[in-house]
Structure 1
């Protein structure tokens, strides 16, 4: 009504004008990225040699690089500006969809993995075991589009995704049709994740407008999961749906079986999802947290997971061969992986002393052992916290979100540890923890900032900038690791001293 006062904004809610500026700045960035994709994306015809072709060697190289960097800066800046939450959940969904439109109709960008998917699906569809041989030996007709480093390696993905890739290769009728279908699968996974976000956020007591914005509007989702058609989108969609079923229907055998099947399918797309399973078992418990209760409800969940894994292996006829393919996923060595960077620096120091320590495999092995320990610690902390909460049904209403927030946040931290300690890091890996931390974390900068930085690590043709900054990047990453270790050690020491200090007398 004329003369009526405007409604006051809630704390942390952006104004309409800043939000509108962010929306259209991000749209401009997405359009520029789409143009860069058309001019110099990961096109099938791009020349590939012994090493990945660099975009600046091609036609209009400086123009494409400039457009890509400006578009990335606009998109990342717009996403960052509303990191505390969009004006509303609907606004976040509409804006994320608006940004995704130009990225869905451009060429593949950021990597050439989608061509590996296509060839692995083609190989399986033509009777070749993709877990026993590389796509070069299989005789894939689209081999020239696959990055050279992955032409002779077996598929590291589970049977569920191999079946999807084979379906795309058969129904697509050619490389273009196959890529379109693989992108549609990625879109379906992203939409499935989008449907699950509000329910998970509400269960964990986090604003849905913030959770939806942090995940769906993240440039890594639009550029890599959608435009790049990465199978991580399918994994995340199945993972979030399985967790939502557990949150909504804990303790019901039928629901636990369904949730287990969904989580098992996620693992059978990409094995990374296995890290979430111990925390999903905690989410499945209904009533008080006892060993008996967890075994009772966890057994139904485990049965569903095993049914999905065994069923996929039998349906594909490939058996458990995909597990062996995981060992080749670390063939790429880049400083963006902290343990790999530390190994590089040790090798550099050894070279100065006239020795060759070959420290990268050792550093990676130590990191994986540390990851296993961290997962156990996170699970144990979640377990003890949940036992302290008791039966939520007998508590006050403010504890209603206690259980899902504890378990989902612990799962997100476990995925974050997996990304940090894995032998290889690619930018789209950051979407794994982002999906769960977006619906559980109270503070966001510590995981939003690395995701924003990761957006600048690749160029549209798939060139990874880490390959051109090996020594300085390794030194910088190692320095960052040492700094974080020192800060964490000091913080824990202070907390222990504070806990042991006697209480002041009145």
Structure 2
């Protein structure tokens, strides 16, 4: 698989040792979280008495230090296991050991789960989360919601809000029970990922060891465990739906695939981007003409859209959430490419004696529109490439993963867990390129794939420590360094894309 290929001798210790090390780190994370994570005010003085003496308004510094250290240990244990987990079962066992303690943790690195609970309660009590915020909700649950989201409509699909409504009804007004129920939904999604990612890699041609390493990156990564299990993000449901739909499409079971991907899109909208790629994965067959493949792909995509529409209407919520899709952008950082460019434009205007803040706002708004245009073009290019390589199912799925990741990066906001939208798909799609079973076939294409996997793994590791335990993003306090860095990085990527396109054009001309 296209992942780091260091020899086991380069990192000491056995699989059992590193699994135990990661489990211990996860236990520390779970225990320390109640002293520094996003704990509602009504519970903070009593839930973990041993840390209360050090707990200030923002939480315990000691607990926060323990969380940071434990996250670092978990990351190191994960990295050490990359070549040792050689079966899908080993990945499942390790994920279970590392994830179990986090089921009982306070929500780490984000307060979003409290917003989910309040929005579910709002819907349960007759409100409309698509037209109003939760501030006026007559419940102490409102006190747990981050101030940024008190007056904003919910940007989530009707399937997820119906689930949140059911959670609110079953919780009987107990907020911690609502947290546990929402987290169990996320845990179920992670279970799907840990089963489906290696299975999908195997369907695409990966051997057992490469399929296991796909699970190592796509399901076991600490970024996923902390944000999907502890943080209980609904992104887990979307990511699991995408991988499961891809698995069904790879088996040419399109009826199941279109239902699952439509449900994933009705949790969070970015899943819809993968629909034509998954339809192509199902439609392409050896000997089938391009026109026939395109026709089947269009028909499959329209069928998925019809299922999505029926689900939305059946929920009673309709499509009001489309108006709220810009809500996450209200708290954007330099991790969003257009926001970084807008920020730098404001600095340039300020240096020239202009109103930097006003210029930054206008430039960011304009650059977001431009980014959406670039995204539209990029999605078309990726689909055309996928169509050209339709006989290579891994290549089709890789384009689907890049398309979903492009949506995350070019939108008005980017949060660390957004990488998890595409990471499981890319992990499975990169697995068949593994040259490990026969190093003599180590072509330039395979080497590039390994570098890509290494980059994804490093990015996942870096994003694991990009947010403080209580949910404060370090991107807010690193803009002076991060914005220019993002601008430079996007320029480099643009140059690489242009060079690749030019090389492709020259090869076609010849």
TM-score range for the pair, normalised by the shorter chain length: 0.7 to 0.9
Q: TM-score, normalised by structure 1?
A: 0.86
Q: Which structure 2 residues correspond to residues 235-254 of structure 1 after superposition, within 5 A?
A: 235-248=238-251, 250=252
Q: 2:231 aligns with which of 221, 228, 231?
A: 228
- Cα 1:153–1:47 change in 2 (3 A) is farther
Deviations 1:419-440 (A, max 9, x none): 2212111111111111111101
Work out the CA distance in 2 between the residues paired with 1:56 and 1:333.
29
Count of aligned pairs: 464
After TM superposition, give the deviation of residue 361 of structure 1 in Å. Answer: 1.2
Partner of 2:254: 256
Q: 2:470 aligns with which of 461, 472, 476?
A: 461
Work out the CA distance in 2 between the residues paired with 1:381 and 1:65.
46
Work out the CA distance in 1 between the residues paired with 2:346 and 2:338.
12
Q: Which structure 2 residues correspond to residues 54-203 of structure 1 after superposition, within 5 A?
A: 58=57, 61-84=60-83, 86-173=85-172, 174-203=174-203
SS in 2 for 1:282: helix
SS in 1 for 2:458: helix
- Cα 1:497–1:293 change in 2 (3 A) is closer
Matched, 1:435 2:424: yes
- Cα 1:46–1:453 change in 2 (3 A) is farther
Work out the CA distance in 1 between the residues paired with 2:232 and 2:425.
21
Work out the CA distance in 2 between the residues paired with 1:149 and 1:486.
37
Equivalent pair of 1:284/1:301 in contact (CA under 8 Å)? no
Partner of 1:483: 492
After TM superposition, give the deviation of residue 260 of structure 1 in Å. Answer: 1.0
Work out the CA distance in 2 between the residues paired with 1:435 and 1:364.
27
Equivalent pair of 2:193/2:218 in contact (CA under 8 Å)? no
Partner of 2:263: 265
Work out the CA distance in 2 between the residues paired with 1:245 and 1:182.
26
After TM superposition, give the deviation of residue 179 of structure 1 in Å. Answer: 0.8
Deviations 1:385-422 (A, max 9, x none): 22xx4xxxxxxxxxxxx2x2122111011122222212
Partner of 1:331: 330
Deviations 1:240-284 (A, max 9, x none): 222211111x2xxxx423221111100000001011011012112
Deviations 1:175-207 (A, max 9, x none): 111111100111111112222223211122232
After TM superposition, give the deviation of residue 470 of structure 1 in Å. Answer: 2.2
Deviations 1:306-350 (A, max 9, x none): 22x223322321211111111222111211212211110111111
SS in 2 for 1:331: helix
Q: 2:371 aligns with which of 367, 371, 376?
A: 367
Partner of 1:396: none
- Cα 1:425–1:12 change in 2 (3 A) is same
Q: Which structure 2 residues correspond to residues 407-426 of structure 1 after superposition, within 5 A?
A: 407-426=396-415
Unaligned runs of 5+ in 2: 45-53, 431-448
Equivalent pair of 2:279/2:301 in contact (CA under 8 Å)? yes
After TM superposition, give the deviation of residue 138 of structure 1 in Å. Answer: 4.0
Work out the CA distance in 2 between the residues paired with 1:66 and 1:28.
16
Work out the CA distance in 2 between the residues paired with 1:105 and 1:292.
51
Work out the CA distance in 1 between the residues paired with 2:375 and 2:156.
21
Equivalent pair of 1:13/1:87 in contact (CA under 8 Å)? no
Partner of 1:398: none
Work out the CA distance in 1 between the residues paired with 2:279 and 2:193.
20
Q: Which moved more, 1:359-368 or 1:294-303?
A: 294-303
Q: TM-score, normalised by structure 2?
A: 0.85
Partner of 2:214: 211
Work out the CA distance in 2 between the residues paired with 1:56 and 1:376.
52
- Cα 1:58–1:265 change in 2 (3 A) is same
Q: Which moved more, 1:472-481 or 1:418-427?
A: 472-481
Q: Which moved more, 1:81-90 or 1:273-282?
A: 81-90
Work out the CA distance in 2 between the residues paired with 1:152 and 1:85.
48
Work out the CA distance in 1 between the residues paired with 2:233 and 2:409.
20
Matched, 1:377 2:381: yes
Work out the CA distance in 1 between the residues paired with 2:58 and 2:486.
33
SS in 2 for 1:336: coil
After TM superposition, give the deviation of residue 301 of structure 1 in Å. Answer: 5.1
Work out the CA distance in 2 between the residues paired with 1:430 and 1:369.
21
Equivalent pair of 1:86/1:210 in contact (CA under 8 Å)? yes
SS in 2 for 1:202: helix
After TM superposition, give the deviation of residue 501 of structure 1 in Å. Answer: 10
Unaligned runs of 5+ in 1: 1-10, 49-54, 390-401
Q: Which structure 2 residues correspond to residues 37-52 of structure 1 after superposition, within 5 A?
A: 37-45=33-41
Q: Which runs of 4+ in 1 moved over 6 A?
A: none
Relative contact order, CA 8 A, sep 6+: which one is greater? 2
Matched, 1:472 2:475: no
Partner of 1:406: 395
After TM superposition, give the deviation of residue 64 of structure 1 in Å. Answer: 2.2
Q: Which structure 2 residues correspond to residues 297-308 of structure 1 after superposition, within 5 A?
A: 298-300=298-300, 302-307=302-307
Deviations 1:139-158 (A, max 9, x none): 44311100001010001000
Partner of 1:311: 310
